[in-house]
Chain A
Amino acid sequence: MNEEKLKIKEDAQQWEGGVAKNITFIVTKDCQLACKYCYLVGKNEEERMSWEVAKQAIDYIFDHENDFPERSVVFDFIGGEPFLEIDLIERICDYIKTELFRRQHHWFDSYRFSFSTNGINYDTQKVQRFIEKNASHLSIGITIDGTQRKHDLNRIWKGDGPERGSYNDVVRNIPLWLSQFPGGGTKVTISSADIPYIRESVLHLYSLGIHEVNINVVFEDVWQEGDDRRFEEQLMLLADDIIDGDYYKDYSCSFFSERIGKPLDPVKENNNWCGAGRMLSIDAAGNFYPCTRFAAYSLREKRPIIIGNVRDGINKNRLRPFLTLDRTTQSPQECVDCEVASGCAWCQGENYDAAETPTVYQRSTAICLMHKARVRANNYYWNRLFRKLEKDGSREEFEQNKRNVKPEIC
């Protein structure tokens, strides 16, 4: 009897969700692409993290183990495109592993390296060697936006000359990625111009073998009049396709969740949506941020919120607003009273950037109509699905086996 084979049934994106510390290295602000909806307004080729800064950051964090009591840690690597800096990343990860062991740090027994990549360099020798070397501690998501026309609408190559979409450069790596991360999910972003392609894109991603599609509308105020109606129509069509095609059995789309569209108790359900402040981001200059979205390259209107640096450490006073932020204090009354509030998300960084004063305590309501449209389509989806399951006599079986779609929290 071999008792050592364990099944690891874990959702990579939700690994140790809520109890893991997220530490993000902004290794570069460069990217091969110039996606039209990208919130990173200050991307550039110059700000690349040096090994010295990365090492100082790691040393600071590990030297202050008591300030990081979370039982687990996720080291995120983002850009720009993180795999542009694969040599640095490999060095960082080797150092982290070695130092955790040398110091007998409690995170040695519970860590992950996480990447969200555009997928273009995924099959290169260096990236593949890195994956092989760290296989049991990796979470990698490749961003593919759906059908070619949807993907290429926004995700275009950087540079002058005619627009060139990146779909073909990404999709060729999907089979390799799925063979290495069979449960891999992709993140799809919806802006105003993408709405007509939502249905076809989700189905296309399913056809590529991606079972988990995490999809969200952008938080920025980009919405046109009538977008909510068009959005609702797309989701209704998608709902029909998922139900009629029996996709609900093995696939998920985060637009549809039983948990959304309910009123929220102002006392018992008063948590902040966003994890800013409980995370730590480090940029090339060695500055610390409560989340990457507060770094200068992410902000259109406001000054960055720097909460320390690798030399002086964390200014704990600057974390206090983030660590005391609840839902109702930052929400306008219409959100507090909203009958369909649950699942309505926000990004603390976008709230800050859009606020009338430099505060994280003013919630942006730019997605209000889009959320309400989603709720209506979501109601339709579940009412139709449950009716079908009941008629089939398979409701109970569905409840036992349904994929656990969690709200996506950045």
Chain B
Amino acid sequence: MLKYLIIQLDSTSTSFCHYAVNRREPCLMPLDTLRKAIRWSMIENVNVQFLYPEYPLPAEYADAIETIDHVKIMQATAADAGKADIVVFDGIASVDADSLSEDMSIVVRTGKKAFFAEYAMLNAILPKVSRLNVVITDIASFADDDFTTYEAALTELAVAVKNEYVGNHPVQFNLLTDRIMLKEMNNCGAGSESLTLAPNGRFYVCPAFYFDDESDSVGDIDNGPSLKNPQLYKLGYAPICRVCDAFHCHRCVWLNRRTTLEVNTPSHEQCATAHIERNASRRLLEAIREVGEFLPGMEIPEIDYIDPFENVRIDR
């Protein structure tokens, strides 16, 4: 069931996920389209998330946006960043920890190499925010050595997270705490729980699909969404994911399609990184419980694989 509509206000609106914004020339969503989108969202009873560009919006846009309950997602460098509900930083080094406040939710987009070089800086960020989402944009490029390095990095970061919890600051950190809190899959949901409306007035599975190929739309605001094979975006139709317990995994359907050509099938790299996070979360949970009772009843079993594909493949 559709729960969220992501409205991309401009063709240069910020990315908050794996995809890169590949448009340079701003193209603002027509005001009429924005108004239709807000009306449609109210009728369909979906939550709205606005993706903002860097430049300030005209006043009539700001007024229209305020007619509906919503979440604002902006780059840290955006003109109106102070009004954002979620602030996006490109690169760990670009985050000024002193400028953060404890009620902030931030997203840090980083590449693999930069993450490995800079992840220690997250130790200073974790005490300052309520939620930290780190998105490694190029996980498709992970090789065997990278998995080892990633595991070591998470093990180090888990020490800082544990200290926050022991110090009564239960920070949410997607790579290490989301799995601890979940009893079932809670993924991106693009195509099943969320759709994106691009500035051209067309629906897309998510913003990444818009940037990949503008003709790859799934309906428009005048006629409503028309997603073909919608079942393939649901968990029950994903043979690897439906038997998996890396509940926090993005299950990024855009990465799926890029790497395996099917929206319902994750790559080895996506599965392996999610399982390294899962296993690090399991160890973190144990470590926090050494100090005192914590989330009784929530358990993460020990497993001997990092890619559930090996458990479901039909040729072995």
Contact = CB atoms under 8 A, between A and B. Distances in A.
Partners in one complex: yes
Interface of A: 271-272, 277-278, 305, 316-318, 320-321, 323-326, 329, 355-362
B260 A320 contact: yes
Given A320-B260, A361-B229, A278 B268 contact: no
B239 A355 contact: no
Main secondary structure of the interface of A (DSSP, over half): loop
A261 B74 CA distance: 58
Contact of A320 (B228, B237, B263, B309): B309
A320 B229 contact: no
Given A317-B267, A317-B268, A356-B229, A278 B260 contact: no
A360 B262 CA distance: 8
B228 A324 contact: no
B166 interface: no
Interface in B223-244: 228-229, 232, 237, 239-240
A329 B264 CA distance: 11
B237 A361 contact: yes
A320 B232 contact: no
B229 A324 contact: no
A336 to B, nearest CB: 12
A349 B315 CA distance: 19
B143 to A, nearest CB: 13
B313 interface: yes
A358 B232 CA distance: 12
Nearest to B239: A324
Contact of A326 (B263, B267, B314, B315): B314
A84 B240 CA distance: 43
10 contacts: A305-B261, A318-B260, A320-B309, A321-B260, A321-B262, A324-B239, A324-B314, A325-B239, A355-B229, A361-B237
B312 to A, nearest CB: 5
Contact of A321 (B228, B265, B268, B269): B265
Contact of A359 (B239, B262, B309): B262
Nearest to B241: A324
Nearest to A358: B261
Contacts of B265: 320-321, 324
Interface in B166-219: none
Contacts of B309: 320, 323-324
A194 B267 CA distance: 44
Interface string B281-316: 000000000000000000000000000010011110
For B228, B237, B239, B313, the residue with the greatest tally of chain A CB atoms inside 10 Å of its CB is B239
Contact of A361 (B240, B262, B269, B315): B262
A320 B314 contact: no
Contacts of B240: 320, 324
A361 B228 CA distance: 12
B109 to A, nearest CB: 23
B260 A361 contact: no
Nearest to A355: B229
A318 to B, nearest CB: 6
A329 B239 contact: yes
Nearest 5 A/B pairs, CB to CB: A324-B239, A321-B262, A356-B228, A321-B265, A317-B267
Interface in B22-45: none
A326 B237 CA distance: 10
B259 interface: yes
Contacts, number: 64
A15 B315 CA distance: 18
A361 B264 contact: yes
Interface residues of B, number: 22
B314 A272 contact: yes
For B228, B265, B269, B309, the residue with the greatest tally of chain A CB atoms inside 10 Å of its CB is B265
Contacts of B262: 320-321, 359-361
A277 B237 CA distance: 19
A357 B269 CA distance: 24
A362 B230 CA distance: 11
B9 to A, nearest CB: 28
A305 to B, nearest CB: 6
Contact of B232 (A272, A326, A361): A361
A330 to B, nearest CB: 9
A321 B261 contact: yes
B315 A359 contact: no
Contacts of A326: 239, 314
Contacts of A324: 239-240, 265, 309, 312-314
A275 to B, nearest CB: 9
Contacts of B228: 356-357
Contacts of A320: 240, 260, 262, 265-268, 309, 313
A317 B229 contact: no
Contacts of B313: 320, 323-324
A323 B315 contact: yes
Contacts of B237: 329, 361
Contacts of B260: 317-318, 320-321
Given A323-B314, A357-B229, A362-B229, A318 B239 contact: no
B18 to A, nearest CB: 15
A323 B260 CA distance: 11
